[in-house]
Amino acid sequence: AQKITQTQPGMFVQEKEAVTLDCTYDTSDQSYGLFWYKQPSSGEMIFLIYQGSYDEQNATEGRYSLNFQKARKSANLVISASQLGDSAMYFCAGRGYQKVTFGIGTKLQVIP
Partner 1 sequence: GAGVSQSPSNKVTEKGKDVELRCDPISGHTALYWYRQSLGQGLEFLIYFQGNSAPDKSGLPSDRFSAERTGGSVSTLTIQRTQQEDSAVYLCASSPGSSLMNTEAFFGQGTRLTVV
Residue among 76 and 90 whose Cβ is closer to partner 1: 90
- Interacting residue with partner 1 among 47, 60, 81, 111 (CB under 8 A): 47
Compute the CA torsion angle 71, 93, 50, 37 (nearest 10 deg): -140
Selected range binding partner 1 among 17-25, 39-47, 65-73, 78-86, rule: CB under 8 A:
39-47
* 101 part of the interface to partner 1, by CB under 8 A: yes
* Shortest distance, position 82 Cβ to partner 1, whole Å: 21
Among 5, 8, 11, 50, binds partner 1 (CB under 8 A): 50
**DSSP reduced 3-state for 84:** helix
Least Cα distance to 40 among 32, 49, 48 occurs for 48
Q: Does 95 participate in binding partner 1 (rule CB under 8 A)?
A: yes
Nearer to partner 1, 14 or 98 (CB): 98
Taking the C-alpha atoms of residue 83 and residue 85, their distance in angstroms, rounded to an integer, is 5
Strands (E) across 1-112 are located at 3-5, 10-14, 19-21, 24-26, 33-39, 46-52, 60-61, 64-69, 74-79, 88-95, 100-102, 106-111
Q: Which residues bind partner 1 (CB under 8 A)?
A: 31-33, 35, 37, 43-45, 47, 50, 52, 89, 91, 93, 95-105, 107
